[in-house]
Amino acid sequence: MHRRAFVSLAAAPVLAACAHRDEAAAALAQADQAIGASRLNTVRFTASGSGATFGQAFLPGNEWPLITIPSFVRVMDYENGAMREDSVRVRAEPSGGGALPLMGQGEQRVSAWVRGDRAWNVTGTTAQAAPVALEQRLHDLWTTPHGVIRAAMRRPATLRMQEGLKVVSFTEPGLYRATVYIDPDGLVQGVESVMPNPVTGDTPVTATYSGWKDWGGVMFPSRIIQMAGGNPVLDVRVKEVQGNVAAGIDVPAEVAGFREKVDVQKVADGVWFFGGGSHNSVLVEFADHLMLIESPLYDGRAQAVIAQARELVPNKPLRYVVNSHHHFDHAGGLRAAAASGATLVVSELARPWYEKTFATANTVHPDAFAQARRAVTFEGVDKQRIFSDGTRTVHMQYIEDSPHAQGFMMAWLPRERLLVEADAFTPPPPNTPPPTRPSLLNLNLLDNVQRLGYSVDRILPLHGRVVPYADLRTAARM
């Protein structure tokens, strides 16, 4: 009797779930029919509008800096799990991070690609692997209206009704969780999703698709609005749509063969410059421990950098990992650094935000920190802090009044006359003539160094190569 009761109680939810799954499958089939998701192997659209630089807030926790996007072209290849996005980006407010030129000083052209498990950027004819962008680009591909319906049809999905909309939920394991809102005509009105991010862990994203119409045989929305991490990132109006175009998104050989490597350059006794494809770090040896300045990008980069530090100085623990500032490209390896047991040194301005961020769940794609299940220790730098043990001295110091970020830190090693900085000065390629108009970021860095009376022979930039300090003066035309 008990056994039978157990069986029937256990069976009931399974039957209910099956019914929901059948209903979900029916809702997805209707949407597929209405928008032609499985008939559309590729789609290309052009648009323009506005957006924001995700992860590049001026102050930690602020909205992402606004930009205008005069040109935006995406090609989605659903058959091959590939996407290409070409955009032109212009700053719409003076402060905040991102690689685009300062306000009023021009545009940035971005060509961002993904296929399978590879992401890369193209500048001119040069492709550079961008593994940090992989998850976000795949997320964006598979939360487009056609992409999300195709993805949902491959996975167990559930259905509920909400205010006349069919609401279908599913998970793409390791990649994202999604909830799709389908209207009575079978059109995708929006997608709420959760994607993994190296800084913010489980990160909420919403996409809204409106103004659906028939673009010469392809059903597609006229307006796309996206929010990520609680703030707007994209708002574009579609101008042109073509279906089943030749996508031509192939992984370049150098991207296919990419793996993280650390180019070690000994700069002084006990000081090493760790060169990377886009972001560098600096290792500093103290009497009984190590300090790493910057753990950028994502777990994969951080783990390569930390392993390199341990290999160079195996008998001293990595006690401190210093973060130049809170922008996501510079902060993306902090979680792996915390997982290794290091104390994280951040600006006091960013510390409360980091503590909150590290406490968010990381369930979609648990990273090294989530798996380590250990507590993180932060130490805040309030404008200035000197780390010194008699053998080594490192000054951590705010770069004041920069439009790039607040709580923006540089490091000065007085004995070795070295300056470590991110984003305030990125050395141009050798033999580049000085710009006609110096960058405010370069001038601001120079002002700060002079104000503090630092003597500097060389700059170890966290983007680019080691250069003499004179190169900053040249760039700033001083």
Those residues whose C-beta lies under 8 Å from the C-beta of residue 130, and which sit 6 or more positions away, are: 112, 119, 120, 121, 278
Q: Compose the 22-51 pattern: x for residues touching Zn ion by CB under 5 A, - for all others.
A: ------------------------------
Phi-psi bin for 444: left (phi > 0), alpha (psi -120 to 50), beta? Answer: alpha
444, 424 Cβ separation under 8 angstroms: yes
Place of tokens 């910057």: 294
- Cβ proximity of 280 and 294 under 8 Å: yes
Q: How far apart are CB 97 and Zn ion at their closest, in Å?
A: 4
Please say which residue, 32 or 423, places its beta carbon nearer to Zn ion.
Answer: 423
| Residue 355 and residue 378 in contact, taking contact as beta carbons nearer than 8 Å | yes
Say how many residues touch Zn ion, by CB under 5 A.
3
- In the bound complex, what is the minimum distance in angstroms from residue 408's beta carbon to Zn ion? 8
Report the residue number, 193 or 200, with the smaller CB distance to Zn ion. 200
**99 vs 256, beta carbon nearer Zn ion:** 99
Applying CB under 5 A, the span of 23-31, 169-177, 229-237, 321-329 interacting with Zn ion comes to 321-329
- Contact criterion met (CB below 8 Å) for 119 and 129: yes
Stretch of 60-68, 350-358, 365-373, 423-431 contacting Zn ion, by CB under 5 A: 423-431
Q: How far is the CB of 441 from Zn ion (least distance, A)?
A: 10
Nearest CB to Zn ion, comparing residues 321 and 331: 331
97 or 131, CB closer to Zn ion?
Answer: 97
Q: Name the H helices within 156-295.
A: 253-256
Considering only residues 102 to 121 of the shown chain, the ones binding Zn ion according to CB under 5 A are none
Take residue 291 and report the two structure tokens written for it.
């300090």
Q: Does 326 bind Zn ion (CB under 5 A)?
A: no
In the bound state with Zn ion, the residue whose beta carbon lies nearer, of 421 and 423, is 423
Rounded to a whole number of angstroms, the minimum distance from the CB of residue 56 to Zn ion is: 6
Q: Which residue's structure tokens are 């487009």?
A: 144
Q: Segment 428-457, which members bind Zn ion (CB under 5 A)? A: none
15 conformational bin, left if phi > 0, alpha if psi -120 to 50, beta if neither: alpha
Q: How far is the CB of 98 from Zn ion (least distance, A)?
A: 7
> CB-wise, 97 or 276, nearer to Zn ion?
97
Q: Which stretch binds Zn ion (CB under 5 A): 3-11, 94-102, 267-275, 429-437?
A: 94-102
Site string for Zn ion, 210-249 (x = CB under 5 A): ----------------------------------------
The verdict on 327 binding Zn ion (CB under 5 A) reads yes
Residues 54-93 that bind Zn ion (CB under 5 A): none
Sign of CA dihedral 41, 42, 48, 50: positive
**β-pair partners for 274:** 264, 281
Residues 366-405 that bind Zn ion (CB under 5 A): none
Q: With binding defined as CB under 5 A, does residue 423 bind Zn ion?
A: yes
Q: Which stretch binds Zn ion (CB under 5 A): 62-70, 116-124, 326-334, 466-474?
A: 326-334
CB of 15 to Zn ion, least distance (A): 54
CB of 423 to Zn ion, least distance (A): 4
CB of 12 to Zn ion, least distance (A): 54
Helix 145-154 × helix 2-35 angle, to 10°: 150
Comparison of 176 and 408: residue with beta carbon closer to Zn ion: 408
Beta strands 213-215 and 218-220 are: antiparallel
Distance, CA of 216 to CA of 50 (rounded, Å): 26
Beta strand 223-228 with 271-275 is unpaired
Report whether 320 contacts 295 (CB < 8 A).
Answer: no
Give 157 or 424: the residue with its C-beta nearer to Zn ion: 424
Report d(CA 343, CA 160) in Å as an integer.
45
Token pair listed for 316: 């001293």
Q: Which stretch binds Zn ion (CB under 5 A): 26-34, 241-249, 416-424, 446-454?
A: 416-424
Complete DSSP assignment for 77-89: ETTTTEEEEEEEE
Segment contacting Zn ion by CB under 5 A, of 229-237, 261-269, 320-328, 377-385: 320-328
Give 205 or 405: the residue with its C-beta nearer to Zn ion: 405
* Sole binder of Zn ion in the list 55, 97, 147, 407 (CB under 5 A): 97
- Strand 343-347 and strand 378-381: pairing? parallel
Calpha distance 289→243 (Å, rounded): 58
Task: Please say which residue, 97 or 296, places its beta carbon nearer to Zn ion.
Answer: 97
Give the count of beta carbons closer than 10 Å to the beta carbon of residue 185: 12
Question: By three-state DSSP, how is residue 264 classified?
Answer: strand
- Nearest-approach distance from CB 327 to Zn ion, in angstroms: 4
Nearer to Zn ion, 137 or 327 (CB): 327
Give residues in contact with Zn ion (CB under 5 A).
97, 327, 423
